[in-house]
Structure 1
């Protein structure tokens, strides 16, 4: 579904209020801060920092790099940078990109962006005073007229997955105070599938069950955010989840796949 943008990733599963000040939990948050999350411009405007040095968060989830898409409604050319004002129907956000030292290199890398073009911007969220903007590491024109719609759907899918667990659970049966659709699905794992893990501590067994319950477990691996979202519903802390993941990796029960944030069961 992504049209040149990022992956579903996301963001840290560990809410800042639950994250330990150091150790394995903090290390995993740092790794996740390099992930790319698709956002609407309204979501960019809703994201916030606890303080100027804190990670950006949106609805309790850490936001690393972001990818946005929108119509260019204004370009402000300055001595050291270009400032693009984007709109996507949900809000307005500025994207800033810095000039290269060589003008030819600048044109080759960034292209000739014009007002009224649709562009995709990937970068990091920044703030100057009360104004938020995206500090661009990549900008490109959108050639596909459907790309902006795909992006909106992708941003919505990621947000709902972070809130409710990955798709594939029992739809329509979740109510406030109950387990997520993701947790409901994990309970459907056959006992035979878990027999070889009965010697593991309860939290490690639950993580294995979560990994096996996901449709992507035998493809690209399951994102740590999906795992944490499920087991945190049962009162587990970020530190204990991190320790359990590390223990499972040390024992060879699980391994990382495409990056350090995606896990797969060793079978």
Structure 2
């Protein structure tokens, strides 16, 4: 089953689905299927896209007014999937609230209980375990959360890295254009573009001139290119997120950060382990 991101004019980019099946998962959710009751008239699930995101993207999503659709990269988004570590579990009478952390932020996820299924009140995962969530963006009293259709434990840590890469790729697709388009890299592989820094931005793939990167090691350049293209904003990205995105060890990321801080290419933001690009 293919999965198309866009829903609102972005169009054109398709990837494989995430396997959030309907009946076999017991979550009642299938991308491209139908969902009764909670859906507004005239717009079915088949008209919407399922987008991979980070928690920071959800927190920063634009909403013109309280009931307006959420927009990420100026594209309307309602259904999302993301991966995060379970930091808290709060069982309630009608739902279970989870606090998830993916290294870019913390977000509440609410899973409503099915009174016909006794096992719904018992999560199949524990604290400090990674899970993948499929759900819908919600806002209540100016607090954002995701109403979960399906929550599944992550059994292979590669899924954590893969999700971050795909979320970054989709972000670049909507902000910089499709591979091969103006400003893109016609010859590169989609998932390697932002890891190795080859997505737009000239020969060095980032905001620094080649002269400033001349004495930087290969790992330092990889760090810089990835961080530049990841667009972490003024808050920057945590060392763990950078490690996952670049495929580098934490030790290599920290060593590269010291190499890049010295010439003023990056700087620390909220703490000593969070870095952002220094605009020159």
Q: Does the C-alpha gap of structure 1 residues 171 and 97 become closer, same or farther in structure 2, counting only changes over 3 Å?
A: same
How many angstroms apart in 2 are the aligned matches of 1:38 and 1:84? 19
Q: Does the C-alpha gap of structure 1 residues 7 and 148 become closer, same or farther in structure 2, counting only changes over 3 Å?
A: farther
How many angstroms apart in 2 are the aligned matches of 1:82 and 1:125? 16
Quote the offset at 1:60 in angstroms: 1.1
How many angstroms apart in 1 are the aligned matches of 2:119 and 2:52? 28
Contact (CA 8 Å) 1:57, 1:63: kept in 2 or not? yes
Q: Does the C-alpha gap of structure 1 residues 29 and 154 become closer, same or farther in structure 2, counting only changes over 3 Å?
A: farther
**1:141-166 Cα distance to aligned partner (Å, 9 max, x none):** 01111111100110011111112221
More helix as a share of residues: 1
Correspondence list, 1:102-181, <5 A: 102-106=116-120, 111-169=123-181, 171=183
For the pair 1:63 / 2:59, whether they are aligned, the reply is no
Unaligned runs of 5+ in 1: 15-27, 174-180, 182-267
How many angstroms apart in 2 are the aligned matches of 1:31 and 1:83? 24
Quote the offset at 1:8 in angstroms: 4.9
Contact (CA 8 Å) 1:40, 1:152: kept in 2 or not? yes
Contact (CA 8 Å) 1:120, 1:140: kept in 2 or not? yes
Contact (CA 8 Å) 1:10, 1:32: kept in 2 or not? no
**1:91-116 Cα distance to aligned partner (Å, 9 max, x none):** 11111001110343526xx8523111
Unaligned runs of 5+ in 2: 11-41, 186-199, 201-280
The list of structure 1 runs, each at least 4 consecutive aligned residues, that deviate by more than 6 angstroms after superposition, is 28-32
- Normalising by structure 1, what TM-score? 0.52
For the pair 1:9 / 2:5, whether they are aligned, the reply is yes
Q: Does the C-alpha gap of structure 1 residues 56 and 170 become closer, same or farther in structure 2, counting only changes over 3 Å?
A: closer
- Normalising by structure 2, what TM-score? 0.50
Contact (CA 8 Å) 2:54, 2:167: kept in 1 or not? yes
Q: Does the C-alpha gap of structure 1 residues 86 and 137 become closer, same or farther in structure 2, counting only changes over 3 Å?
A: same
How many angstroms apart in 2 are the aligned matches of 1:53 and 1:13? 20
Between Structure 1 and Structure 2, how many residues are aligned?
A: 156
RMSD, matched Cα: 2.9
Which residue is equivalent to 2:102? 88
Which residue is equivalent to 1:74? 88
